[in-house]
């Protein structure tokens, strides 16, 4: 289990203090051998450690954060005086628990030693605070730099995407014009030769015209136009087969309102891709109803026993994505039920 950042930091501090205290204690013992007990060292270093963190996390943090650096010349002497006072009291208490009490007096040597010890740890505390702030500022700068690089990369990707979109727009402006002129030429050429072929060309032209037409600012089209497009799509597919397609479409209501274009067609295409439209006893059903600003759309079809699985579900997934882009979760419900033989879909949209 990995150690969290806070626990790792605490561990580093403990190890640093352990090394520092070991160094000082060994140095003192070597220079002037004493019989200082371990609990005495604990008391003194507890005071020094508290001074260290108090000055760094309270005094320096407050004065810098509130821009009160002029208070430091006043606070430092007060801290030194408080440190000396605590040392006097601590020495008196420790002396009570020693096996052999030592003589103790507040003289010049004691005051100089205590003052030097206080300034010594204040210096370490200041260095620690500056180091900590430097690391913190460096991380902040690196974070800002990373955000800037990410923003530049996103901007570059958007620029490339805009260029591709502009190219696609120019192509879309040229290709439909050529396509419809060609379809019109084919329609006029085969009208007298094959009425069925000419009807197919006409339906294809209308289907393509609807698919390529520009949408309005809200990105939607009239529900009535979508339904008419589905009817043309079904009629066009009927021309492809020599047998009648077992597919029934029923429309109810005024068919008012606006929806994203080609949304319902995606579900109808799914019927042609994966449905069995040859069984008269189980004809595919399509229902479109618009009542009181509510759109109800449902499909029910028998599945083909053998069909290519490639691309299955992609159209449905794209339709789900478009629904989430145009509507909130409360504005629509989409339910899909299927088994080995049948596929059922039910969609309800609030058109207001």
- For the cut 60, the answer to whether the pLDDT of residue 318 exceeds it is yes
| CA dist., res. 200 & res. 237, Å (int) | 9
pLDDT of residue 309: 47
Pair (257, 197) in one structural domain: yes
Judge whether residue 68 has pLDDT over 80: yes
State the pLDDT at residue 332. 95
Q: Are 97 and 38 in contact (CB under 8 A)?
A: no
What are the backbone angles phi and psi of residue 34, rounded to the nearest 5°? Answer: -130, 175
pTM above 0.85, yes or no: no
Does residue 115 form part of some domain? yes
Q: Are residues 136 and 263 in the same domain?
A: no
Ranges 30-44, 198-212, 224-238, most confident: 224-238
Could you tell me if 205 and 346 lie in one domain? yes
Residue 183 inside a domain? The answer is no
179: its two tokens: 């396509």
| 176 located within any domain | no
- Give a yes or no: residue 267 inside a domain: yes
Helix (H, G, I), strand (E, B) or coil at 109: helix
Measured CA to CA, the distance from residue 351 to residue 290 in angstroms comes to 9
Comparison of pLDDT for 141 and 176, the residue scoring more: 141
- For the ranges 6-15, 165-174, 283-292, 296-305, which has the lowest average pLDDT? 165-174
Residue 159 within a domain: no
Q: Are residues 142 and 42 in the same domain?
A: yes
Q: What is the pLDDT, as a whole number, of residue 167?
A: 63
169 or 39, higher pLDDT: 39
Say if 166 falls within a structural domain.
no
Mean of the pLDDT values across residues 86-108? 81
Closest CA to 17 of 9, 292, 105: 9
> Is residue 299 domain-shared with residue 221, that is, in the same domain?
yes
Question: Are 254 and 120 in the same domain?
Answer: no
Give yes or no for residue 140 having a pLDDT over 80: yes
In a domain, 148, yes or no: yes
Angle at 178 between CA 177 and CA 179, to 5 degrees: 90
Do residue 326 and residue 261 come from a single domain?
Answer: yes
- Which of 93, 128, 152 is the endpoint of a domain? 152
Q: What residues make up the domain containing 102?
A: 5-152
Do 140 and 219 reside in the same domain of the chain? no
Residue with tokens 């509130």: 66
pLDDT above 50 (res 1): no
The C-alpha atoms of residue 284 and residue 271 are separated, in whole angstroms, by 8
CB burial readout 113-132, b (16+ within 10 A) else e: ebbebbeebbebbbebbeee
Judge if 131 and 201 occupy the same domain: no
> In this structure, is residue 260 part of a structural domain?
yes
Residues 84 and 11 occupy one common structural domain: yes
Confidence of residue 337 (pLDDT cuts 50, 70, 90): very high
What six digits make up the tokens of 146?
A: 């990373």
Length of the chain: 352
In 3D, which of 289, 285, 295, 299 has the Cα closest to residue 344?
299
Find out whether 257 and 223 touch, Cβ atoms under 8 Å. yes
Task: Please check whether residues 86 and 218 belong to one and the same domain.
Answer: no
CATH number at residue 233: 3.30.565.10
Which helix or strand (DSSP H or E) is residue 42 part of? helix 38-54
Question: How many domains is the chain partitioned into structurally?
Answer: 2
The residue-averaged pLDDT of 200-221 equals 72
pLDDT band at 2 (very low <50, low <70, confident <90, very high): very low
Instruction: Judge if 12 and 148 occupy the same domain.
Output: yes
């Amino acid at each position: 289990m990995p150690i969290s950042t806070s626990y790792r930091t605490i561990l580093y501090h403990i190890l640093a203090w352990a090394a520092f205290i070991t160094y000082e204690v060994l140095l003192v013992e070597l220079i002037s051998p004493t019989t200082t007990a371990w609990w005495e060292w604990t008391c003194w270093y507890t005071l020094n450690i508290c001074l260290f963190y108090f000055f760094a996390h309270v005094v320096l943090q407050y004065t810098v954060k509130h821009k009160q650096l002029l208070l430091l010349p006043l606070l430092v002497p007060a801290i030194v005086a408080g440190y000396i006072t605590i040392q006097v009291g601590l020495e008196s208490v420790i002396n009570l628990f020693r096996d052999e009490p030592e003589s103790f007096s507040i003289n010049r040597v004691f005051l100089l030693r205590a003052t030097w010890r206080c300034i010594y740890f204040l210096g370490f505390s200041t260095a620690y605070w500056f180091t900590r702030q430097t690391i913190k500022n460096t991380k902040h700068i690196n974070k800002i730099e990373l955000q800037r690089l990410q923003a530049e990369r996103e901007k570059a990707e958007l620029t490339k995407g805009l260029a591709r979109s502009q190219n696609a727009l120019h192509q879309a402006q040229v290709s439909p014009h050529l396509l419809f002129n060609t379809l019109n030429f084919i329609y006029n050429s085969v009208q007298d030769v094959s009425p069925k072929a000419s009807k197919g060309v006409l339906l294809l032209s209308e289907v393509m015209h609807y698919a390529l037409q520009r949408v309005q600012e809200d990105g939607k089209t009239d529900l009535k136009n979508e339904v008419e497009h589905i009817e043309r799509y079904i009629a066009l597919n009927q021309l492809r087969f020599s047998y009648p397609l077992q597919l029934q479409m029923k429309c109810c209501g005024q068919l008012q309102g606006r929806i994203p274009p080609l949304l319902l067609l995606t579900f109808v295409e799914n019927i042609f891709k994966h449905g069995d439209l040859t069984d008269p006893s189980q004809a595919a059903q399509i229902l479109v109803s618009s009542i009181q600003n509510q759109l109800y759309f449902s499909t029910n079809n028998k599945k083909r026993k053998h069909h290519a699985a490639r691309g299955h579900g992609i159209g449905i997934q794209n339709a789900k994505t478009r629904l989430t882009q145009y509507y909130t979760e409360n504005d629509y419900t989409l339910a899909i039920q299927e088994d080995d033989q049948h596929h059922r879909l039910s969609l309800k949209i609030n058109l207001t």
